[in-house]
Amino acid sequence: MELIVLFVGPGGSGKTVMAINLGILMGRMGYNTLLVDGDIYLPDMTEYLDMGAVRVTLHTLLKDPLVEPEAALYKLREYGVSVLPGSKELGQVVGAHTSLLIHVFEELSKEYALTFVDTPSGLPMDLLELYEIATHQVVVLDVERAGRGELPYTIHDQLEKYLFLDREERMEHGVILNNVQKVDPALIEDYIEETFEVPVLGVVPYDPHVPESVSLRRPLIVEFPHSDAAIAIKDAGKVIERWLFG
């Protein structure tokens, strides 16, 4: 069975960094992996991966159903993954028909063991159709953005909204705590797992190497493999592998 994993989270939570690095990690672990830039209006995966200008994108497929989906795939051999990028060209964005999303994803995902989708920041309302076929959802939370007294409320509010999107309750859900500095992650893990019965898949600490890797347009686990955040992401990858495949 092909697995489609949605990476969701508030703006600035680090979901794009997580989707890219975990996708590359899975590729290096031997899983045929596709990374999809599903941010319809502000795609940036090509910049994160320094792919340069790409001609055929997800937006091309959503605008012209006659284009073969495989034409929009780019194999990054250094990283061991394929990428379906998005487009920032206004004409492509305006002309995209999100009603074609399910068709595009069903056609492409069947060629891969894993499809990791980076969604728009906030609630991915433009991708709601994908909840009909996605198998897993990873919610990335930056726990340092809320005040100490507001943290339980913020986590509850955010998680409740993302879990609600799975209206048929057919998906598996997990959480990654990102940019952890001052808060006690064990307390947050206990709260999430007891309140929502959702596993915390990883805890990634604050690490200045993360923004540096973004600036260099290189994946963190490749450019700074021994950094604290990279090690935590690799630990999370082992947990996610068991979560996905048992």
CB-count burial class (<10 Å; 0-12, 13-18, 19+) for 144: middle
Domain boundaries, the chain: 3-245
Residues of the chain where predicted confidence (pLDDT) is lower than 50: none
Residue-wise pLDDT for 60-103, tens only, equals: 999 888 999 999 999 999 999 999 999 888 777 776 777 888 88
CATH T-level fold of 3-245: Rossmann fold (3.40.50)
pLDDT at 117: 96
The single-letter code of the amino acid at 29 is: M
